[in-house]
Structure 1
């Protein structure tokens, strides 16, 4: 007589805890408490009749049984995600689930979504945000956007937005004769606003790197408040709290409408960029192709507008 399949919640807790080798990090991913994860693991071990983890005060490791069980459990969840995706496609569910970095969603996608909705009224976008890379084998997303070098094994990757950064501020900061803001050296008289959402990329400039390139050696790059995600530091600049180092695409509209200004020239190119990603086996998905075509149209629109402004 075959054993019944263990509870799905317990299997999910096992897979996440085994991947992180931490009940605490598993709890963060599952939005539960560490004790709840521990309870689910205990339930699963009792159901199976064998321990899956070796626990001590400083570490969590898999037993031989846990190591043998993990690949099959992960493959099962992968198949569930795939089956759900295929079901949606077969039933013609008119939605497209996209996971984005928070500021990409707020400062680039949302302000222009109306044009996508008008062009594709039969597709409902379902947008969520995170800065972590989407795991399409475990998460029910159709596609995502990620910041990196564009190399994602097993995934289709297409450049969306290159990145450069430069200082911006409220026009009001330019009106104080006692605190000029005409050269990078003048930043010593102003509050620097810091973006704490930078990713682990040594080429991604912070104030210290930008000031060094600009030759502003007497400006303290460590002072000033910090914000996360990036759109919060832009909001602080809009409110006149100081000078922010911002990504070009995040502030283009605010600059065009006069809400922000570039107090002086000088920008830094960033090696990383924003890429659209999704599993390669979804290249024929008409919803994904519609979104890709629309993004390309938006990028062409932006390039044309920029070319016109520079004439």
Structure 2
């Protein structure tokens, strides 16, 4: 059977322009110039023999034919993406692509990959560190670990870990502060601050953490750092006390680079979720990874609970 199809790059450019409302935005998404999008749309209009956009002084708007064409295209392109991804994965059954925030990748997932290889030598891991929302089909992602509150429509979502914040310091710092017994005692010592941008709504920083334990903290000119890993590095070298979510400090606690200064800990407003498409676990490698990472998370939370005060 011979298919008389329009030029597919032009179809993709038109769909992006119709969805985003203009050539400039479509160009940014497709990583080409607005002029290149406009040229491809003209090619498609010539092939179809009908105008799809009305060109105005301040932009473009879809014609009636353009709206109908865009509405019909979207399910077709989604279907093409799905069947193409399914075909691609048939030759790649061993690879499991996982994405998570950089801090969790470096401080929690990476130290555990040896145990995954021992348990499942058949899995080839592809690990991506990213913060942006996940497009599972177009990015070829099997599993995402994200911090949030949910729900996640259209995805299978399991709570992986709670986010608990503890005060930590170096062993030498703790030894030099034997009178530090309660959260209020922290006000006599240097508190190391995160200054994250863009800020996370309701994130746990020193004022909220201390207030949770009944301590009023007005703030002062104390050391601050742009990233959590810098704050924790400063704490490990004895420069003061940091607070951080326990998944990020677990390996440092285990190795002894950091110690809990107090048993007090506070639960954050978010949880780490294990996200995947509903059909993803039909692949044995993805199912094995999900089962393994859930088991690892249960072990982490059991360690964190021991001796804690909330």
Rounded Cα–Cα distance in structure 2 between residues aligned with 1:132 and 1:20: 22
More displaced, 105-114 or 186-195? 186-195
Q: How does 1:83-162 map to 2 (within 5 A)?
A: 83-91=83-91, 93-162=93-162
Q: Distance in 2 between matches of 1:226 and 1:119?
A: 38
SS at match of 1:205: coil
Check conservation: 1:188, 1:220, Cα contact below 8 A: no
Show CA shifts across 1:121-160 (max 9, x none): 2221111121222122432111211111241111111111
Q: CA deviation at 1:16?
A: 7.9
- Partners of 1:277 and 1:6 in 2: how far apart? 32
| Number of the residue aligned with 2:48 | none
More displaced stretch, 243-252 vs 15-24 = 15-24
Question: Structure 1-normalised TM-score?
Answer: 0.78
2: distance between equivalents of 1:110 and 1:217?
Answer: 38
Cα distance between partner residues in 2 of 1:291 and 1:240: 37
More displaced 10-residue stretch of structure 1: 181-190 or 86-95: 181-190
Alignment match, 2:16: 15
Q: Distance in 1 between matches of 2:41 and 2:87?
A: 32
Find out whether 1:205 has 2:213 as its counterpart.
no
**What are the within-5 Å matches in structure 2 for residues 256-271 of structure 1?**
256-271=254-269
SS at match of 1:270: strand
Offset of 1:266 from its aligned partner? Answer: 2.4
Indicate the residue corresponding to 1:81 in structure 2.
81
**Which ranges of structure 1 fall in alignment gaps of 5 or more residues?**
none
Question: Which 5+ residue runs of structure 2 have no aligned equivalent?
Answer: 46-50
Which among 34, 37, 42 is matched to residue 41 of structure 1?
Answer: 37
- Aligned partners of 2:230, 2:38: CA distance in 1, in Å? 42
> Aligned-residue CA RMSD in angstroms?
3.7
Question: CA 1:192/1:170 → structure 2, altered by over 3 Å: closer, same or farther?
Answer: same
2:136 match: secondary structure: coil
Which stretch of the first structure deviates more once superposed, 271-280 or 254-263? 254-263
CA distance in 1, matches of 2:40, 2:211: 56
SS of equivalent residue, structure 2 residue 36? helix
Worse overlay, 249-258 or 182-191 = 182-191
1:298 Cα deviation from its structure 2 partner: 1.8
Matches within 5 A, 1:285-296: 285-296=283-294
Q: What is residue 213 of structure 2 aligned with on the other side?
A: 214
Contact 1:211/1:221, CA 8 A, preserved across alignment: no
Separation (CA, whole Å) in 1 of partners of 2:193 and 2:25 = 32
Shift in alpha-carbon separation, 1:39–1:99, aligned structure 2, 3 A: farther
The Cα shift of 1:168 comes to 1.8
User: Structure 1 residues 198, 264: CA separation in 2 closer, same or farther (over 3 Å shift)?
Assistant: farther
**Partner SS, residue 134 of structure 2:** coil
CA shift in 2, pair 1:209/1:126, >3 Å: same
Over residues 224-268 of structure 1, what are the superposed CA-to-partner deviations in whole Å (9 max), with x where a residue is unaligned? 42324x434333433444432200121122123221122233221
**Cα shift readout 1:269-290 (whole Å, capped 9, x = no counterpart):** 1232111111112232211111
Task: Determine the C-alpha separation between the residues in 2 that align with 1:67 and 1:242.
Answer: 60
Instruction: Name the structure 2 match of 1:194.
Output: 194
Q: When the two structures are superposed, what TM-score results if normalisation uses the length of structure 2? A: 0.78
The structural deviation recorded for 1:297 is 2.8
Secondary structure of 1:273's match?
strand
Q: Which residue number in structure 2 is paired with residue 282 of structure 1?
A: 280
